[in-house]
Structure formats: C-alpha cells, structure tokens
Amino acid sequence: MKTDNSPVTIADKLIEEKIREQLNLEFPSHPIFGEEYGGSLDKKIGWCIDPIDGTRAFIAGKPIFGTLIALCSNEKPIIGSIDMPCLDELYIGFFDEVQNLSSVKMNGKFISASKKINLSDALIATSSPNAFSEEGFLKFQKISENCKDTYFGGDCHNYALLASGHLDIVMEHKLSPYDMMALVPILLASGAIVTDWSGQPIKIQNAGEILAASTPKLHASALSLL
C-alpha cells in the first residue's frame, strides 16, 4: 500500500520502468511524469504515464485495467493512448485544437462518440462511489438520477466506451494528471466534450475533476446540474 492508502504491485512498477526506458530511448530530451516514479512536466512538452489504471481491478483478476500514456504540450494533452491488454483493445487519439486536426482509432478502426443529447437517454458511469468526496458523490447522483442507467466500475475503460459510442457520460473526482491526460485527446477526437466540473479544459494543473459527455448539449445539461 502507498502512503495515500492506494494499492501498488510489482507489475505497476515494472510496466512504468519499461515505458520510461522506451521513451528515454526514443525521446531522450522529453521529461516524464508517472504514477510510480514521479517526475515533472515542463510547459513545452512531456509524457504522462499511468502503468496500470485500475490496479484494484488488476489485483482482483478483473480484465478492465489499462495502461495510459499521453504526450502533453503547453500543459495540455495532445496525444493519448488507452491500452486494455486483457480485452485486446488499443485506443489512440490525437487532438490539436490550434491546427484543427484530430483522429481517434480503436485497433486501427475509426470510432466516434454517440449522438445522445438528452440526459433521460444517457448511460452514465464512474469507477466507484468511494472515489468521490461526500459532496462530490452527491453531485454525481444529481446527474445520474436524471440519466437512463448508471454503471459502476470500469476505470479508464469507461472513457474508451464513451469515445466508441457505448456510454454517454463519465464523471470522476480526486484524479491525478496521470489518470486524465491520456483520456482527453481520445475523447475530444471522438467528438465528445470533456472538462472539469466548472466547464474548464483539462490541463496538467487540475483539481482532479472530470466530466465527459458524448455531445455538447448533453455535457451542458450535466454541467448545469453541478
């Protein structure tokens, strides 16, 4: 157990070591920030790593853990990958707002978010009620009570499911940059909207809040309840 009472395994550490080794080989001048070995990101460019997002699922033998890698520039993620090894799913997204370029694929095939616009039709998900503060979970419930159905569990796979049109809203709390950065380009390139709980873009310096929805109208409806 770590000092914050979250679990860590030998696999978490070995995976991050291997990713760092490869990144240092390919991009020796780029700084790296990872969950297990820390580091820092400068404003120009850098990599953000979560070797196992969903360590509790991994420990329990559940197949919904993944590896997150993001390339960040000017404090924003521009390339992200979600690798779900047990499911044989690799999601890679690129989103450059300045050049108006974007692309997102799962195993080489283009994907897109759903076109849902009404909360009453939406499927909402989050990893765990325990991942919220008491006040934060009440806010989640305020939205979920207006949705068609609510799902718990899933970790990073929830965002992959949103980007590929299966889920419609994902909301989480108390996240770290390595939990979020890789998700953002994938979601934005799929046509989804992703912000913090005040509607601001996700940056490296974030309060740990995330609200993602498949369409601008659906996101606005969810955000209004916050």
pLDDT in tens, 156-210: 999 999 999 999 999 999 999 999 999 999 999 999 999 999 999 988 777 799 9
Tokens of 88: 């044989």
DSSP characters for 92-152? Answer: EEEEETTTTEEEEEETTEE--------GGG-EEEES-GGGS-HHHHHHHHHHHTTSSEEEE
What CATH number did the domain enclosing 203 receive? Answer: 3.40.190.80
Q: Residue 31 sits in which domain range?
A: 10-110
Residues 123 and 203 in one domain: yes
Q: What is the reported pLDDT for 42?
A: 74
Check residue 171 and report its DSSP letter.
E
Residues 100, 201 contacting (CB under 8 angstroms): no
Residues 82 and 129 in one domain: no
Q: What is the reported pLDDT for 205?
A: 72
Nearest-angstrom CA–CA distance, 88 and 106? 10
- From first to last of its 226 residues, the chain has per-residue pLDDT tens of 998 888 999 999 999 999 999 999 999 999 999 999 999 877 789 999 999 999 999 999 999 999 999 999 988 899 999 999 999 999 999 998 877 889 999 999 999 999 999 999 999 999 999 999 999 999 999 999 999 999 999 999 999 999 999 999 999 999 999 999 999 999 999 999 999 999 999 887 777 999 999 999 999 999 999 9
Residues 130 and 173 in one domain: yes
Q: What is the reported pLDDT for 156?
A: 97
Please state the pTM of the whole predicted model: 0.95
Residues 71, 77 contacting (CB under 8 angstroms): yes
Identify the domain boundary among 110, 134, 153. Answer: 110
Number of domains the chain is built from: 2
Residues 83 and 42 in one domain: yes
Closest CA to 26 of 63, 69, 67, 57: 69
Identify the domain boundary among 70, 91, 110. Answer: 110
Q: What is the reported pLDDT for 3?
A: 87
Q: What is the reported pLDDT for 97?
A: 81
Residues 53 and 134 in one domain: no
Strands (E), 22-96: 32-34, 38-39, 45-53, 66-73, 76-84, 89-96
Q: What is the reported pLDDT for 70?
A: 97
Tokens of 61: 């033998």
First to last CA, the chain: 33
Closest CA to 69 of 181, 155, 210, 177: 181
Identify the domain boundary among 110, 141, 164. Answer: 110
Q: What is the reported pLDDT for 91?
A: 98
Q: What is the reported pLDDT for 136?
A: 95
Return the residue matching tokens 């070591």.
17
Residues 80, 68 contacting (CB under 8 angstroms): yes
Nearest-angstrom CA–CA distance, 153 and 158? 8
Asked if residue 5 belongs to a domain, the reply is no
Nearest-angstrom CA–CA distance, 98 and 190? 17
- Signed CA dihedral, 200, 204, 207, 213: sign only: positive
Residues 219 and 129 in one domain: yes
Residues 88 and 138 in one domain: no
Tokens of 57: 């699922």
